[in-house]
Amino acid sequence: MKKILTILTVALLACTTVFAAFNVTGEFEAGYKFGFNGGFSAEAQDNAEGKVTFKITDDAGIWTVNVKALDELDSSNKLDANLSLDIAALLAANGTDLGDFDLALSIGANSKMTALSAYNDVTGDELFKLKSNGEYSTELTIGYGNLVQAKIAVDPTAKVSKEMPIIVSAKTTPVEGVSVSAGYTYQGYMYLAAINPLEWVIVATEPGKENEEKAEGVVDHGVTVAADVNVGTLADLDFNLGVTAYDNIGFKDKTVFNTLAAGIYGGVDVVDGFFEFRMDNYTVDKAPTTTVLGMKTQVNINVVENLGLDVYFNIGNFDEFKTTYAVGGDVSYTLSGVKFAANLDYAGTGGFSITPKIVVTF
């Protein structure tokens, strides 16, 4: 017995030594969405909610294995992962210091690589992103301090499109508080609310946001420009205040797609918020332009420690207000790293819903 215990102890110490050089971080989220109609009876749209993401990084910060979000916590899970390699850190660990220059490489399940953007995504819906239409992409990033960053990504396999997708972009922060960016993609992806049924397909929206008419589609060519100006940082104010904007333009055959958004954000420690206005449109050849106008606004209240509270009001399309608006709020409380949260939402299309969740960040 003593010999067995000794062997187990040695094995345990060996395992501890092997894995001591690695750090695992991530997030696990699980819950349900309960939908109610006018009679407040549970409907068929009740859904499971959940996802898990994690990354494994070495202590030296040279490499990171990123496991993408598994959004369906059942047998349909598909494990997508990529490797991020900090070449500057790798060279520095082996005697070559690049100074203020940054150099990084990513390869693996980098499906739709995203252009750099200065836009402050105050809503968190990520509709601002201009992407390449790849599936197994390689991305190279080059930067110099906080001044400038550039990256290029390609998918040599071209499994999704007949021609090799490519995306190039750059971002600069000439002074603290001011950022601008620009990007271009060939065989790319962008999001649009003004849907052309001949070119775009509606995709599943995030839980609790079914009122948003969100669509994505492929463009032959796409360009993006964005800017963010944080007045609070520039003027050294005691409160946060900033403005941000972006414009994405896509071309496919004789159709021109455009999405433009501008936002204002700010606040103090106990309360902050944002307002975003969005305009999406498309023009087929010389036909009249189809336009959709929408907005989002939210206020976050941070009065009690560990208590999260926000209220929001969104309009997906002003011309179809009754079926595209949503009003609601989120409440959460965190104990020992475990967050208990719930979303309450009333949407013009889906009625009232409650989404309780448990989130663990590690």
* 110, 139 contact by CB (below 8 A): yes
In a domain, 1, yes or no: no
- Give the C-alpha distances (Å, rounded to integers) separating 6 from 165, 261, 265: 56, 65, 60
Entry pTM: 0.81
Six-digit token string for 123: 């809503």
Gap between the Cα atoms of 309 and 306, Å rounded = 10
In a domain, 85, yes or no: no
Structural domain harbouring 247: 115-135+159-333
In a domain, 255, yes or no: yes
Domain count, the chain: 1
* 258, 248 contact by CB (below 8 A): yes
Q: Which residue has the tokens 């309009």?
A: 315
In a domain, 33, yes or no: no
Six-digit token string for 161: 């499109």
Name the helix (H) or strand (E) containing 131. strand 131-132
In a domain, 172, yes or no: yes
User: In 3-state terms, what secondary structure has residue 101?
Assistant: strand
pLDDT by residue for the chain (362 residues), tens only, comes to 444 434 433 444 444 444 447 788 888 888 888 887 654 434 445 677 777 888 899 988 899 998 876 665 555 556 678 889 999 999 998 989 899 999 999 988 776 788 999 999 989 888 899 998 887 889 999 999 989 999 999 988 876 667 889 999 999 999 999 999 999 999 888 888 765 443 444 343 444 444 444 455 778 999 999 999 999 999 999 999 999 999 999 998 888 899 999 999 999 999 999 999 999 988 888 788 889 999 999 999 999 999 999 999 999 899 989 888 999 999 999 999 899 999 999 988 778 889 999 999 98
In a domain, 46, yes or no: no
Gap between the Cα atoms of 11 and 37, Å rounded = 58
